[in-house]
Amino acid sequence: MSTPKTLKNIRKPNATVILIIFMTIFLTELLFFTWCRVQTIGAGYEISRETQRHQDLINFQNNLKVELARLKSPERIAKIAKNQLGLITPTQEQMMIIP
3-state secondary structure 37-90: HHHHHHHHHHHHHHHHHHHHHHHHHHHHHHHHHHHCCHHHHHHHHHHCCCCCCC
| Nearest Cα residue to 81 out of 92, 68, 90 | 90
pLDDT at position 41 over 90: yes
How high is the pLDDT of residue 65? 97
pTM assigned to the model: 0.58
